[in-house]
Structure 1
Amino acid sequence: MRILPIASGKGGVGKSLIAANLAIAFAQAGKKVVLADLDLGASNLHLLIGYRAPKIGIGTFLSDLRSDFSRVVVDTDIPNLRFVPGDAEIPGSANLKPAQVSALARRLLGLDCDILVLDLGAGTHQSILDFFLLSGQGIVVTTPTVTATLNAYLFLKNTVFRLMYSSFKKGSGAYTYLEKLRKDGSSLQQLYIPKLMEAIREIDPESYTKFKERMKLFHPRLIMNMIEDPKHAEVAQKIRRSCVEYLDLEIEHLGVIYRDTLQDTALAARIPIILYKNQSILSQAIYRIADKILQSEEEHVLLEGRSIEESFQEAELEAEVDFDAKMEYVEDLLHCGALSMADLVETVKTQQLEINQLRKENLFLKSRLVKLLSSSSSMQPRN
């Protein structure tokens, strides 16, 4: 079984859209797929695959961990695809206890399928990080906005810290050192992990080695969603540089997906976009990403013959190609009368307003980052 957790640092970046349509693409490729809605507390994945409102879901199992889990695994109208609904109306279902996380993970990993797609909740709750770490090659979805890219980076940083804490036994020198930093008022989130690990290597070589071995198996991947311009693909490089410099972590780029208003039409019709219009720019991007995943090596191993750098260069090239295809599509709509010049002008005006808002947001966040970086420089651990 290949496990594919799909996460995001914040909501509204299209994570569930990608999870649903990737699962369908895998099923169309002949793989036995299970799609699980683990966005507990905000579960709506069934809408994206055209499934009726579920009567029972994961919350039903969580309320009685000894119950039959197979009851909440349902067939869909899509060949090769089964679905595990979440629960949006059960209080506290988004904040699972460790025993619930463990029991749910065991049931999911025991399912008979080729690919298990996990649509995780937004944010960095411990249970979300634990589900993400079920695989060494989970996917983080982001958009080009400053807040989304910052939250994507922070999600990866929290995941690395979660991996670190789970690698250190309580009472060990490394664990005690981290707890001392935390109790002394140091914000672990403002520490550079390479510097932190230098100190831990001196204090507790055994824990240091264990963590480094686990990090060798951790190769998360990135999808840049809802881009409007080929230049937006370059934003992924900023996330990559931050991960390398501050987390000592390499990430792979799976590709870009352009914003497509057809998705709204497909959602209203309760039809997944790759079934509604499989030749759309969005659908073709989904298929392209699915192919990359299916062609990749076994779990925990980076692709041979395709370096990390090449994956980013390839994504930027795909952004250019898709943009040209998108412009040709708009021209076709204008020529056939399906899109009037007034519609086009209104769309440009709307996008200009969004761009102006993003610029203001960018300036605000830059000022905050400057303050945070200046304060963090005085909080680095000293050897």
Structure 2
Amino acid sequence: MSESIEATANMINNNSTNTPTIIAVGGGKGGIGKSFFTSNLAIYLSRFKKVTVVDLDLGSSNQHTCLGLQSVRTTISDFLSDKIVHFQELEEPTRYINLKLVSGCFDSLNITQLTDADVQKLIAGIKTLNSDIVILDLGAGTAAATVDFFTSADNSILVASAEPTSIENAYRFLKVLFYRKLQHVFLAQNAQEELARLLAHRDQFQEKSPNQIVKDIYQRNHVLGRAIMNDLQSLDLSVVLNQIRMSHDEQVGHGIASVCNKFFGVWCKYLGAISYDDAVWQSLRKSQPVMIANPQSSVSQQISKIAKNLVGSTAKTAVL
């Protein structure tokens, strides 16, 4: 065990930079364990570096509970309303060394309806945090703000389960991500006419894969097509499968990664799976991450392995 920790520490130190690495944890469906995975990933990484969790599951924030905080002084709504000017002031210490939390919002009915300006303000604020690693816990669904937070990160982790509804929502999330990426590139390239054409013929494009759509755009406009390809290829996407009950469920994780690579033209890595385990709900009852409540459980060992895969040299972009 000590040798494993030392090896991970060496990987982290060898990949250190002067700017925080941002990891986004998202997924199309609620109830698949994004917040659970985020808090435990944070516990593992905080053994080696300073970590801040930012709860961007706005309207349904619960990272404070996952990390054992009874109450919080400030929330993201204080920053959006300019009650607090500097994003760093939102950081609150947790009971765990090297781990801080920026809490989501509890008191605003319209906080989930973020404008593009709100999103850019939050992204800029997140980048000012004085941590080595910032982990974003995103809400469920395919809202534009959620997708933009997901793609703004250095490493984007899609969490899914092996259930058909979760798989369907994962693909829907990826499809929205693809079109959101296209929209951003079109606007950046001043290609509003091409965007209008795409939207006007969206029914025709439904029959084509996103990868084929990009190729069609490239045939008409090499510069625009290349810009889209570069933007998609810059995304560092990974998949984690949660709550698996049978070993062959892992094929779902490999399948999602394969679809990303072939169908969407987006590089994707399968990081691993987390088994269904009673240790999880037992730790949640204690308001403790399972990595703390039951560090020897199979779930804790699996999360550690996933974290090492994320950190390791086989990742497209070094996490640390």
Q: TM-score range by the shorter chain?
A: 0.7 to 0.9
Partner of 1:200: 217
- Aligned pairs (5 A) from 1:267-278: 267-278=284-295
Partner of 1:349: none
- Aligned pairs (5 A) from 1:204-223: 204-223=221-240
Larger deviation: 4-13 or 64-73? 64-73
Instruction: Please identify which structure carries the higher helix content.
Output: 1
Larger deviation: 148-157 or 237-246? 237-246
Confirm or deny: 8 A CA contact 1:136 1:220 kept in the other structure: no
- Pairs aligned (count): 300
Partner of 1:18: 37
For the pair shown, which has the larger CA radius of gyration, 1 or 2? Answer: 1
Question: C-alpha offsets along residues 16-56 of structure 1, whole Å, 9 cap, x if unaligned?
Answer: 0000000011012x200001100001101111111122242
Partner of 1:2: 21
2:317 corresponds, among 281, 294, 301, to 301
Confirm or deny: 8 A CA contact 1:65 1:100 kept in the other structure: no
CA distance in 1, matches of 2:235, 2:83: 30
Partner of 1:58: 76
Matched, 1:254 2:271: yes
TM-fit CA distance, 1:71: 2.8
TM-fit CA distance, 1:280: 0.4
TM-fit CA distance, 1:171: 8.0
Confirm or deny: 8 A CA contact 2:55 2:137 kept in the other structure: yes
Partner of 2:135: 117
Partner of 2:102: 84
CA distance in 2, matches of 1:167, 1:279: 46
TM-fit CA distance, 1:259: 0.7
Confirm or deny: 8 A CA contact 1:2 1:115 kept in the other structure: yes
TM-fit CA distance, 1:182: 2.1
TM-fit CA distance, 1:204: 1.8
Task: Show structure 1 runs of 4+ deviating over 6 A.
Answer: none
Distance 1:121 1:190, change over 3 A: farther
Partner of 1:226: 243
User: Which amino acid in the other structure matches residue 118 of structure 1?
Assistant: L
TM-fit CA distance, 1:187: 7.3
Partner of 2:46: 27
- State the secondary structure of the residue aligned to 1:95: coil
TM-fit CA distance, 1:130: 1.0
User: Which amino acid in the other structure matches residue 22 of structure 1?
Assistant: L
Partner of 2:16: none
Partner of 1:49: 67
CA distance in 2, matches of 1:301, 1:25: 19
Question: C-alpha offsets along residues 189-221 of structure 1, whole Å, 9 cap, x if unaligned?
Answer: 664122212221122211111111222222300
User: Which amino acid in the other structure matches residue 72 of structure 1?
Assistant: L
Distance 1:189 1:259, change over 3 A: farther
CA distance in 2, matches of 1:202, 1:84: 45
Confirm or deny: 8 A CA contact 1:170 1:176 kept in the other structure: no
User: Which amino acid in the other structure matches residue 34 of structure 1?
Assistant: T
CA distance in 1, matches of 2:168, 2:122: 30
Partner of 2:7: none
CA distance in 2, matches of 1:70, 1:250: 33
Question: Over aligned residue pairs, what C-alpha RMSD do you find?
Answer: 2.1
Distance 1:153 1:95, change over 3 A: same
CA distance in 1, matches of 2:180, 2:299: 33
Partner of 1:343: none
- State the secondary structure of the residue aligned to 2:134: strand
CA distance in 1, matches of 2:26, 2:39: 13
Distance 1:282 1:166, change over 3 A: same
- Aligned pairs (5 A) from 1:126-165: 126-165=144-183
TM-fit CA distance, 1:93: 1.1
Question: C-alpha offsets along residues 70-106 of structure 1, whole Å, 9 cap, x if unaligned?
Answer: 3321111100001000013311111211111111111
Structure 1 unaligned runs (5+)?
304-383
User: Which amino acid in the other structure matches residue 216 of structure 2?
Assistant: A
Question: C-alpha offsets along residues 203-260 of structure 1, whole Å, 9 cap, x if unaligned?
Answer: 2211111111222222300000000000111112332333233212231011000011
User: Which amino acid in the other structure matches residue 249 of structure 2?
Assistant: H
User: Which amino acid in the other structure matches residue 84 of structure 1?
Assistant: V
TM-fit CA distance, 1:69: 2.4
Query: TM-score, normalised on structure 1?
Result: 0.73
Percent of matched pairs sharing the same residue: 29
CA distance in 1, matches of 2:267, 2:225: 19
CA distance in 2, matches of 1:170, 1:183: 20
Partner of 2:256: 239
TM-fit CA distance, 1:262: 1.6
Confirm or deny: 8 A CA contact 1:182 1:188 kept in the other structure: no
CA distance in 1, matches of 2:202, 2:164: 28
- State the secondary structure of the residue aligned to 1:263: helix
- State the secondary structure of the residue aligned to 1:226: strand
Matched, 1:286 2:315: no
Confirm or deny: 8 A CA contact 2:87 2:128 kept in the other structure: no
User: Which amino acid in the other structure matches residue 193 of structure 1?
Assistant: P
- State the secondary structure of the residue aligned to 2:187: coil
Confirm or deny: 8 A CA contact 1:65 1:103 kept in the other structure: no
CA distance in 1, matches of 2:302, 2:286: 21
TM-fit CA distance, 1:136: 4.4
User: Which amino acid in the other structure matches residue 195 of structure 1?
Assistant: Q
User: Which amino acid in the other structure matches residue 91 of structure 2?
Assistant: V
Distance 1:258 1:5, change over 3 A: same
Confirm or deny: 8 A CA contact 1:255 1:289 kept in the other structure: yes
Confirm or deny: 8 A CA contact 1:23 1:33 kept in the other structure: yes
CA distance in 1, matches of 2:278, 2:142: 29
- State the secondary structure of the residue aligned to 1:186: helix
Distance 1:190 1:262, change over 3 A: farther
